[in-house]
Structures are given as C-alpha cells and as structure tokens.
Structure 1
Amino acid sequence: MSSSNFNAVLLEISNQLSAKQLDDIKFLCRDMIGKRDLEKINSGRELFQVFTERGRLGADNRDFLSGLLVHVHRLDLSEKLKSFHSHPGWGGTDDRLNAAVKAELDSATEVIAENLGRTWRKLGRKLGLAEVKLDSISNRHPTDLEETAVELLKEWRKSRGAEAQVEELIRALRACQYNLTADKVEHRLATLKH
C-alpha cells in the first residue's frame, strides 16, 4: 500500500484532533522535540511530519502515535491508525475472502446482530478483541445494540483477515452459552447451502 494512503490516514486523524488534544500531544512530546520546535507546530499534520522525520512514525511504525492518541482519550483515532494495513496488495478484509466464506460471514453477522443484545461484550472478549477496542465500539454506538454487534463482528473480521471463519464464531457463541444464537446461525448457513 502506498505511503500516500498512510498519509491520508494521518491527515484524517489530524483533522479530527481538537486544539486542546493537539496541545496535550505536544506536551507529552516536549522532551523529544524541544520547546522551540513545538511552538512552531500548529497542526497534527505538522507534528506527524516531525515524528516521521525523527523515525517515530511510519506505515510500519505506528505504536508511538497510537499511544499518544490513547493518552489524549482518542481511542477511536488510535484504532483507526492501528487498523491501517501497510502490506502491498491488501485492501479491505473482505476482498481477501472468497465469495462463499464472505456470504457465510455476512449471514452469521446478521443473525448474531439480531440476537445478541446487551451481552455483546462477552462475545467480543471470547473472540479475542481487546477492551480498548470494545470501549471504542461502545462509544460509537452507545444506544443501538444491533449496530454495536455488527461493529463488533466487523472488527473481529478485520482482526482475523483471511482467516475469519463462521465456525470460529459458532464456537465462541457456544463458549459464551449463547447456544440458541449459535443454532440460528447454523440453521441460516444450512439454508444458504441449499
């Protein structure tokens, strides 16, 4: 993936930072950059350029900025940065899945979203998603549980990439004692195959 795609992500993050959040990030970096240089920086874009020049930021080196974003309570932007794929030829997760697997995952997502409700976090943990990720999902959809479940499964699919399989979802549902939902997923898959 080209550096222009990574720069587009950085620009988007820069545009979403408030002036206070930018000041807070600059404060956290005062030992690394120096007061005089920091005073000249007026945007996230300019700050990210300094990070890049000093070897602290790149398409394959995102942890430093990601950590700073967490410190200023922008978990959503930290997740956006972490989810950027720098490997050539990688598009979205779904274009790496064959059509049959994608159809199965889409159907399973629909069934789970309709049936999961308030217990979505338990499934998220069982699928191996971090608490930070779960908090970010919750913040994006605080009242719509069905959308929350869809977002949860989208994040799981992104984390698993081409290895995402419906069987893993069913195992996780059963491990959480969500057997009725697991049965409904299996029934929907059986109707897909006939």
Structure 2
Amino acid sequence: MEKYPKDAQEIVMKALRKIERNDLANDLENIPRVSGVERPQATGVDAPGKTADSKIVTEKQLMQVANKIGKAWRKIGILLGISGHKLEQIEENHPRDHVDRVYQMLCLWRKQQRKNATAAHLHAKLAELDEDLEDDDIDFLLEEGV
C-alpha cells in the first residue's frame, strides 16, 4: 500500500475545504493517522458485493428521476432538505430547462447526503414525498445493476 507523508493528509484536507469539497475532506479526515497514512482503497459504486440498498445513486439515475419530476420540483427540494435559497439559485442558473433544474437539485441532495445518497434512500424519499410521482416511475432505483 502507498503511504502519504504525515502532513500531506492535512494539506489535502485544507485544499478540499478551500474549494468547498467538505464531503471529501470529511472522508479523508476519518482515515486513521499513523506514522504514514495509508491510501484508502477504491470503493466504487459498482464494487462487488454492494447491493442496490448500499449503492450511491448515479448521475444517470438522477437524470432519469429528473425526467419524471414535474412542476412540484421545488416542494420536493424543500422536503429533501434543500434550502429555498439554493433552489432559487438553481432556478436562476437554469431558467429554461426544467429537467436540468431538477437534475441539479438532485445532485445537490446527493452531495448533501454523502454516503446516505443511495438509490434506495432516494426512492424511499420520493415515494414518501410526491403523491404525483408513481412508484413505477422510480422503481428502477431499486433494481440491481442499474
């Protein structure tokens, strides 16, 4: 395994926080520090043994969901825990493209949720929140190998 110099982890965490990637900085911070910090092994979404319940939702899945969400996207965003201010920013940045607006909202949700942003979690939230969204429209989130 590759070792990092002792202070390299701290330098990288500071750089990540400076570019507002606190999610990555927090992940790096959780790695135990020993006389040399071992590089974490890649644990990709499609790692063997991962179930649909534990896979982080993909960009492709977010786009598929974005195509299913209608005019109630702001309500869904609020109920997913996204601030009204952030939703306004998204709307200003994507005034003409509804699907892209919803996609950006879902990407923000994924970023906020970090390791909890699984396909199963998103499915459960959407099924609970939007009565206009049919279960059949989002059941693909629960399928293996998507």
TM-score normalised per structure 2? 0.61
Q: Which runs of 5+ in 1 are unaligned?
A: 10-82
Aligned counterpart for 1:179 among listed residues 124, 133, 137: 133
Q: In structure 1, what is the equivalent of residue 112 of structure 2? A: 159
SS at 1:179 equivalent: coil
> What is the RMSD computed on CA atoms of the aligned residues?
2.9
* Counterpart contact for 1:96–1:162, Cα < 8 Å: no
Q: Which amino acid aligns with 1:146?
A: V
Aligned counterpart for 1:98 among listed residues 30, 38, 45: 45
| Rounded Cα–Cα distance in structure 1 between residues aligned with 2:142 and 2:59 | 10
Q: In structure 2, what is the equivalent of residue 3 of structure 1? A: 14
Aligned pairs for 1:38-187 within 5 A: 83-85=20-22, 86-87=25-26, 89=28, 98-99=45-46, 101-102=55-56, 104-174=57-127, 175-180=129-134, 182-187=135-140
Q: Which has the higher contact order (CA 8 A, sep 6+)?
A: 2
Q: In structure 2, what is the equivalent of residue 47 of structure 1? A: none
Shift of 1:139: 1.4
Shift of 1:130: 1.2
* Counterpart contact for 1:127–1:169, Cα < 8 Å: no
* Counterpart contact for 1:6–1:84, Cα < 8 Å: yes
CA shift in 2, pair 1:161/1:97, >3 Å: farther
SS at 1:98 equivalent: coil
Shift of 1:4: 4.1
Q: Which runs of 5+ in 2 are unaligned?
A: 1-11, 30-41
Q: In structure 1, what is the equivalent of residue 4 of structure 2? A: none
TM-score normalised per structure 1? 0.48
* Counterpart contact for 2:68–2:137, Cα < 8 Å: no
Q: In structure 2, what is the equivalent of residue 16 of structure 1? A: none
CA shift in 2, pair 1:178/1:166, >3 Å: farther
Shift of 1:131: 1.1
SS at 2:26 equivalent: coil
Higher Rg:
1
* Counterpart contact for 1:108–1:188, Cα < 8 Å: yes
Residue identity over aligned pairs, in percent, reads 20
Equivalent pairs, count: 113
